Structure 1
């Protein structure tokens, strides 16, 4: 990365990678490339393993739920620990824990002693690890790059996630075909070494905006008091509350199109499995382009920009719901993927920027609860509406609700004249 200088040319493509000029973030991001690739490879390996053991769709859903549920119930407490301890140390512990879990799963498979209940426990433990690691990781970004480059760093994280989401499962499938499932879990376990080494090499004295650590015993708060302090801040800061509620609800009603795409492919557009594959790929391409655009732009978000993005998302989904043309639907769903990444990344950047240093982990944990927690509920809702009215009307209902929520947020924003603190 020596070609990235501290002042990249404004028109250069290198502008999209400007936050990599920070050594600490460069180490962390580079380690994440390998670690995320391993994690997404394992995700397909875990699905395949459950199918081999049970041949049950219900068991697939159950294992996935056991991994997701702890994030919803315990991420708030993860934010408390993120604010109480040095974030690099917390991340070292979570990454080491995840590595041990992956290697243990590999040993169980390689020795042919794996049983379904092992997967239940390890999925639950990984979910608990993520409930601590995710708010900590998000809150740690600003400490590595500072406020000026935060929009770029958040976008680069999103871009990396989108790329690995595309590459990881495909590579995992190739490895399963060539070598079997066990090697995926070994590779994932080893991949954590990259991010662990990166964290160990980070220089603490070069970090920005470090939250003050708890001092004397009289300053200490118990976990519940700390948790309430973070929730009270969100509740009593109108701009932060507006952003979390509006974006969380738009994600609930508008970011659940993935569950409807197979039905659009078969029942609405009549394009079969191949067409479904192109629809799915188009959303990923749109999301990746959005992340690149945000990284290149590196602009501080505002409430107005986030609301405009959610408004455009709702309008695009209305058009997709009523479109009966395959090529037009490809363009529209790619645009939906673009706008979903656009407003979500802007919202995360805005919340990290607005939150005080000593509360950032807890604010991020509330964001994870509302943003991530809305998605599985949205899948259930859209599945139910699709069963009642069909996929097109279900998506249209969700899109119209997004537009109503955005309009209400706009009125609230204008009435209060909200700005980020």
Structure 2
């Protein structure tokens, strides 16, 4: 935090992350109050994550070959415009289920295209010797917002309605825009001795790198095999809390916030665990624990117990996600870093988007308990991939 550029960017992104989590509670509550089916509620998660599958990789290419400052400013203008549109339509009471999905998709698209450039930029916000601390603080920003944002969003929805939450989300993007315009260095390119790449060549180059790096391929396979089933938690929790239990929005926000608190705990536990165990063992243990928590959540309708298992889910989720991201970063050299991170986001987004729609459909076809039980079983079966596709432990080999 001693370095002013990193401090300003960190504060701006933290405010934006808070707005994003508040917005997610708002759109989920609004859909649950309007939609006739569980599938429509689950499709909020699909609309949020499908853009990662569609746009994250081209955005990663842009992050490697374009000026990242320009990319980030353009995308935050898009995010601001989308948030303002959602605010105005909700204020005028003309937001339908499909408009809510479309505007959620637009916000997801901006987020998906912004993340590769932002994440790849973190090493440039702080000196190389403090990179580890910078990455840790960036993760802390995400987890703090995940803990506080849903709770604040739920309270605001209960007190002032979803329009207030959507308006604050729009304002949050102004903080990041101000930081990017006023403080971000104008000349910001990737430091590499390789010749410049065209967009098409860079697109193919990243895919070729992924095909020829077995360690990265293992990361992508494990990501898809786990998050397809993990997505059942995010898609079914609002159905359980808002529809089946009839809870108020602030109760739902507080329960989502417990997963953020769990993420903070999990992030603090990770260094200790990794000193004793390999990444592959930590990943496998988190999957097994997550599956057990899912089975409990499927049949429990007690707020205190749901909060307790939500805490466990948060701990496991951050262990799984951070293991995937750190392992991918450890396999990738600087010249392809944004594309590798974008491929991880692509696989993550596609898995969660498809999984959310599947679990919503199954919950309408059978019931919520059946949908979650099938996902928990699938998550346990995915452990069998640990031997064939272990999460890599060591540093990268530059295949360039």
Higher deviation after alignment, 192-201 or 74-83: 192-201
Any conservation in 2 of the 1:288–1:338 contact (CA below 8 Å)? yes
- Distance change in 2, residues 1:370/1:100 (3 Å): same
Aligned partner (choices 347, 355, 361) of residue 338 of structure 2: 361
Which of 313, 327, 330 aligns to 2:286? It is: 313
Aligned to 1:344: 321
CA RMSD of aligned residues (A): 4.2
Counterpart position of 1:26: 7
Change (3 A) 1:172 1:190: same
Q: Quick one: distance in 2 between partners of 1:342 and 1:43?
A: 22
Partner Cα distance (2:149, 2:89) in 1: 23
Q: 122, 132, 141: which one pairs with 2:122?
A: 141
Task: Judge conservation of contact 2:32–2:238 (CA < 8 Å) in 1.
Answer: no
> Which residue of structure 2 lines up, in the alignment, with residue 96 of structure 1?
77
Does the 8 Å contact 1:255/1:378 carry over to 2? yes
Give the alignment partner of residue 81 of structure 1, picking from 62, 65, 88.
62
Which of 226, 242, 254 lines up with 1:250 in the alignment?
226
- Shift in CA distance, 328/113, structure 1 to aligned 2, threshold 3 Å: closer
- Counterpart of 1:179 in structure 2 is 160
2:190 aligned with 1:190: no
Greater gyration radius: 1
Q: 1 CA distance for matches of 2:267 and 2:99? A: 37
Question: Which secondary structure does the structure 2 equivalent of 1:21 belong to?
Answer: coil
Cα separation, partners in 2 of 1:306 and 1:196, compared to 1, 3 Å: same
1:104 deviates by 3.3
Asked if structure 2 preserves the Cα contact closer than 8 Å seen for 1:307 and 1:406, the reply is yes
- Aligned residue pairs total 382
Which stretch shows the higher mean deviation, 81-90 or 127-136? 127-136
CA shift for structure 1 position 77: 0.9
373, 386, 395: which one aligns with 1:406: 386
1:123 to partner: Cα distance:
3.4
- Given that 2:83 and 2:107 are in contact with CA atoms closer than 8 Å, whether structure 1 keeps it comes out as no
Q: Does 1:236 align with 2:212?
A: yes
Distance (Å, rounded) in 2 between the aligned partners of 1:163 and 1:45: 18
Cα distance in 2 for partners of 1:352, 1:407 equals 21
Q: CA deviation at 1:51?
A: 5.9
Q: Is the 8 A contact 1:310 1:402 kept in 2?
A: no
Superposed CA offset, 1:133-171 (max 9, x none): 122222222222355544443443333333323322332
**Deviations 1:278-327, CA, capped at 9 Å, x for gaps:** 97665433222122445xx499x79x732111121133246547879999
Q: Is 1:70 matched with 2:46?
A: no
Q: Structure 1 residues 56, 167: closer, same or farther in 2, change over 3 A? A: farther
Q: 5+ unaligned residues in a row in structure 1: which ranges?
A: 1-19, 266-270
How far did 1:42 drift?
2.5
Which SS does the other structure have where 1:204 is aligned?
coil
Distance (whole Å) between structure 1 residues aligned to residue 256 and residue 318 of structure 2: 15
After superposition, where does 1:95-134 map in structure 2 within 5 Å? 95-110=76-91, 112=92, 114-116=94-96, 119=100, 121-134=102-115
Among 339, 347, 351, the alignment partner of 1:374 is: 351
Q: Separation in 1 of the partners of 2:333 and 2:388?
A: 27
Give the 3 Å change call, closer, same or farther, for CA 329–44 of structure 1 in structure 2. closer
- The 1:276/1:390 distance shift into structure 2, 3 A limit, reads farther
Secondary structure, counterpart of 1:100 in structure 2: helix
Query: Aligned runs of 1:155-304 on 2, under 5 Å?
Result: 155-202=136-183, 204=185, 210-212=190-192, 219-221=196-198, 223-254=199-230, 256-258=232-234, 282-294=258-270, 297=271
Q: Deviations over 1:168-225 (max 9, x none)?
A: 2332333334334333333222221211222234453998x9345997xxx542x332
Distance in structure 1 (CA, Å) of the matches to 2:238 and 2:156: 26
Do the aligned residues in 1 keep the contact of 2:144 with 2:264 (CA within 8 Å)? yes
**Alignment check: 8 A CA contact 2:67 2:187 kept:** no
Q: CA deviation at 1:333?
A: 6.0
Instruction: Tell me: higher relative CO, structure 1 or 2? Use CA pairs within 8 A at least 6 residues apart.
Output: 2
Is 2:42–2:236's contact at 8 Å kept on the other side of the alignment?
no
State the partner residue of 1:7. Answer: none
Shift of 1:84: 1.6
